[in-house]
């Protein structure tokens, strides 16, 4: 297993989407490891980037507000880094159906721009791409491993799939040192909780902390796995620090698949108060819903030594505590 302090201390790294949920948690960890962190973020209002996410580390990171769609900006910004964590993206499935063009620009065109910029200006850089379990679509079997067919159910899934292939092809054809992580539901402090656009779990935390009733779509029996954000950050760092990871694609995944209804119960339990109710699936969500999902993460466990460390109970408790404390910044 890679030694992360050695791997990152003093090293220049770039995080696109670095003011967002996962990006900012990654930035905090990298700053703690002594890395020279540059954050690129567009601060598009609906996407989750927020300067409060880096409160306390402002003097240890460089923040460059820019959009990854800006080709010339990215040509400059990719230079001089040893690692690029490419987390910028449009992640809302519903938004991708309402506006497929913007999803295409951010999740496809910008990925090409970043790869072309690296190929021309920083060919030795290691690039970690944030992919998603969404590209599998409705599981044909569980748990879903990396060999599972890729059958996305929405435009966002198609574009994330294309994005992942760009990284593989630039590795195979040009030798760029790329690796992709297919993330499942990630939760924790600094996630976007303003609405249900990006994740259901963020919206549930919002409702719980606000004393509102949780709404569960459908029967509530749908299974999901979840990763606490610190575990995802660990996976990103291991992928970046491990030469064996180059040209690979890895699932993340949780150890405790849970039904939505049980997850709601657990949240109510941890929160000390609250309630939930079942509501019919909105048709626009039902049409792109993937049913039960949980992932098989044995490949990254065996090759890079990663596994989730934070239990669902512990992670949710930390998350609730964070939002009870910092509610005013995230509502």
Task: Give the shortest CB-165-to-a second copy separation in angstroms.
Answer: 4
Binding positions for a second copy, 98-117, rule CB under 8 A:
100-101, 104, 108-109, 112, 116
| Complex with a second copy: residue 28 or 160, whichever CB lies closer | 160
Rounded distance between C-alpha atoms, residue 250 and residue 252, angstroms: 6
| Complex with a second copy: residue 56 or 280, whichever CB lies closer | 280
| Complex with a second copy: residue 166 or 187, whichever CB lies closer | 166
| Complex with a second copy: residue 109 or 298, whichever CB lies closer | 109
Rounded distance between C-alpha atoms, residue 313 and residue 321, angstroms: 12
Task: Give the shortest CB-100-to-a second copy separation in angstroms.
Answer: 5
Q: Residue 150, interface with a second copy (CB under 8 A)?
A: yes
* Residues 38 and 13 sit within 8 Å (Cβ to Cβ): yes
Q: Residue 155, interface with a second copy (CB under 8 A)?
A: yes
Taking each helix axis as running N to C, give the angle between helix 229-241 and helix 21-32, from 0 to 180 degrees, rounded to the nearest 10.
60
| Complex with a second copy: residue 152 or 254, whichever CB lies closer | 152
Residue among 205, 196, 199 nearest 326 (CA): 205
| Complex with a second copy: residue 53 or 153, whichever CB lies closer | 153
Of 13, 158, 181, 191, which one interacts with a second copy (CB under 8 A)?
158
Task: Give the shortest CB-140-to-a second copy separation in angstroms.
Answer: 11
- Per-residue binding string, a second copy, 61-100, x by CB under 8 A, is ------------------------------------x--x
* Residues 107 and 129 sit within 8 Å (Cβ to Cβ): no
Q: Residue 169, interface with a second copy (CB under 8 A)?
A: yes
Rounded distance between C-alpha atoms, residue 60 and residue 35, angstroms: 9
Task: Give the shortest CB-158-to-a second copy separation in angstroms.
Answer: 4
- Among left, alpha and beta (phi > 0; psi -120 to 50; other), residue 247 is left
**For residue 103, what are the contacts with CB-CB under 8 A and spacing of at least 6?**
90, 95, 96, 155, 156, 159
In the three-class reduction of DSSP (H, G, I as helix; E, B as strand; rest coil), residue 299 is classed as helix
Rounded distance between C-alpha atoms, residue 233 and residue 190, angstroms: 13
Q: Residue 152, interface with a second copy (CB under 8 A)?
A: yes
Q: Residue 159, interface with a second copy (CB under 8 A)?
A: yes
Task: Give the shortest CB-167-to-a second copy separation in angstroms.
Answer: 11
Count of Cβ atoms closer than 10 Å to residue 76 Cβ: 13
Angle at 78 between CA 74 and CA 80, to 5 degrees: 145
| Complex with a second copy: residue 161 or 238, whichever CB lies closer | 161
| Complex with a second copy: residue 165 or 217, whichever CB lies closer | 165
Count of Cβ atoms closer than 10 Å to residue 109 Cβ: 15
CA 173 to centroid of chain Cα atoms: 27
Rounded distance between C-alpha atoms, residue 164 and residue 177, angstroms: 13
| Structure tokens that stand for 192 in this block | 């976007």
| Structure tokens that stand for 118 in this block | 């690296």
Site stretch for a second copy (CB under 8 A), options 30-38, 165-173, 200-208, 303-311: 165-173
- Distance between first and last Cα of the chain: 39
Of 162, 223, 268, 321, which one interacts with a second copy (CB under 8 A)?
162
Binding positions for a second copy, 274-303, rule CB under 8 A:
287-288
Binding site for a second copy (CB under 8 A): 97, 100-101, 104, 108-109, 112, 116, 149-150, 152-155, 158-159, 161-162, 165-166, 169, 172-173, 287-288
């Amino acid at each position: 297993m890679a030694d992360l302090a050695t791997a990152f201390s003093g090293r220049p790294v770039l995080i696109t989407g670095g003011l967002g949920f996962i990006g900012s948690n990654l930035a905090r960890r990298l700053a703690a490891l002594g890395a020279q962190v540059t954050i690129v973020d567009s601060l598009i209002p609906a996407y989750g980037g927020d300067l409060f996410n880096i409160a306390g580390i402002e003097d240890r990171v460089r923040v460059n507000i820019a959009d990854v769609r800006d080709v010339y900006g990215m040509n400059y910004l990719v230079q001089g880094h040893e690692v690029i964590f490419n987390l910028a993206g449009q992640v809302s499935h519903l938004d991708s159906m309402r506006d497929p063009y913007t999803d295409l620009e951010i999740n496809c065109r910008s990925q090409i721009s970043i790869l072309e910029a690296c190929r021309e200006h920083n060919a030795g850089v290691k690039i970690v791409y944030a992919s998603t379990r969404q590209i599998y679509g409705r599981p044909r079997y569980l748990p879903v491993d990396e060999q599972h067919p890729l059958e996305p159910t929405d435009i966002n899934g198609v574009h994330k799939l294309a994005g992942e292939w760009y990284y593989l092809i630039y590795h195979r054809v040009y030798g760029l040192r790329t690796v992709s992580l297919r993330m499942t539901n990630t939760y924790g402090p600094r996630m976007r909780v303003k609405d249900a656009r990006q994740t259901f779990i963020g919206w549930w935390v919002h409702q719980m902390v606000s004393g509102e009733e949780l709404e569960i779509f459908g029967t509530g029996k749908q299974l999901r796995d979840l990763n606490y954000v610190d575990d995802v950050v660990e996976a990103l760092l291991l992928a970046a620090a491990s030469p064996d990871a180059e040209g690979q694609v890895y699932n993340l995944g949780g150890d405790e698949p849970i039904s939505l209804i049980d997850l709601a119960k657990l949240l109510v339990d941890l929160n000390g108060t609250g309630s939930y109710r079942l509501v019919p699936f909105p048709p626009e969500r039902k049409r792109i819903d993937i049913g039960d999902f949980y992932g098989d993460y044995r490949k990254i466990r065996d090759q890079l030594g990663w596994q989730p460390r934070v239990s669902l109970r512990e992670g949710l408790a930390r998350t609730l505590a964070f939002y009870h404390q910092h509610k005013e910044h995230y509502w």
